[in-house]
């Protein structure tokens, strides 16, 4: 996160009104989970709101200052497409291209990208704006994005986005 945050801040500062933060919020208690999520939270009870420092769940302060005008879409699962208003937010803005940054490359970003592909969005991944807690799976997903999804996902550097993004 420390490595990519300055670039994400720069990109957000350049286009705050066109920014949507998808924000993962864990459950309060493990027993609130269903199916695999219940097993997940039983195993990782320290990742529930009843245990976790709530400040760790907030957007990092350098990004939170952009909302508003940036929008925040809260989610309880990896995908921002399930049980959220993300589709409505994007449709109301007549959005057809998503520029994706964030973490984790191999979890929430993956879920975001696959859903965006399914909805037919042009997907641009900012290579130096993505991070994960595991370098090995981050690198593996970057390879998958560039090879397996090469017709549906574009991988670019932050500076290329900044130079070419015209609102």
pLDDT at residue 38, as a whole number:
95
The count of C-alpha atoms lying within 13 angstroms of the C-alpha of 107, restricted to the half-sphere facing its C-beta, is 12
d(CA 80, CA 116): 10
Q: Kindly state the tokens that stand for 151.
A: 């017709």
Q: Which residues touch 119 (CB under 8 Å, ≥6 apart)?
A: 81, 87
- pLDDT band at 137, cuts 50/70/90? very high
pLDDT grade for 131, boundaries at 50, 70 and 90:
very high
Q: How many CA atoms within 13 Å lie on the side-chain side of 125?
A: 30
**pLDDT at 141 > cutoff 80:** yes
- Of residues 107, 102, 88, the one with CA closest to residue 12: 102
pLDDT in tens, 38-84: 999 999 999 999 999 988 999 999 999 999 999 999 999 999 999 99
Length of the chain: 167
Say what the pTM is: 0.92
Query: Encoding tokens for residue 17?
Result: 């009104």
Q: What is the pLDDT of residues 71-127, one digit of tens each?
A: 999 999 999 999 999 999 999 989 999 999 999 999 999 999 999 999 999 999 999
CATH T-level fold of 5-164: Rossmann fold (3.40.50)
The per-residue DSSP string of 69-134 comes to TSEEEEESSS-TTSSSSHHHHHHHTT--EEEEEEE-TTTHHHHHHHHHHHHT-EEEEEEEEEE-S-
pLDDT at 167 over 80: no
Per-residue pLDDT at 19: 97
Cβ–Cβ < 8 Å for 74, 84:
yes
What are the structural domain ranges in the chain? Answer: 5-164
What does the alpha-carbon distance between residue 102 and residue 109 come to, in Å, rounded to a whole number? 7
Q: Is residue 166 pLDDT above 90, yes or no? A: no
């Amino acid at each position: 996160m420390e490595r990519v945050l300055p670039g994400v801040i720069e990109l957000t500062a350049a286009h705050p009104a066109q920014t949507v933060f998808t924000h993962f919020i864990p459950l309060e208690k493990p027993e609130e989970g269903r199916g695999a999520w219940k097993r997940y939270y039983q195993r990782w009870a320290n990742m529930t709101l009843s245990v976790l420092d709530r400040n760790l769940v907030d957007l990092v302060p350098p990004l939170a200052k952009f909302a508003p005008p940036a929008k925040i879409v809260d989610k309880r699962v990896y995908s921002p497409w399930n049980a959220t208003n993300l589709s409505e937010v994007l449709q109301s803005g007549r959005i057809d291209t998503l520029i994706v940054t964030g973490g984790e490359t191999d979890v929430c970003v993956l879920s975001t990208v696959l859903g965006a592909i399914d909805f037919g969005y042009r997907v641009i991944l900012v290579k130096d704006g993505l991070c994960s807690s595991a370098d090995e799976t981050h690198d593996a997903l970057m390879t998958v994005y560039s090879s397996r999804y090469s017709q549906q996902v574009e991988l670019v550097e932050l500076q290329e986005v900044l130079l070419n993004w015209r609102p």
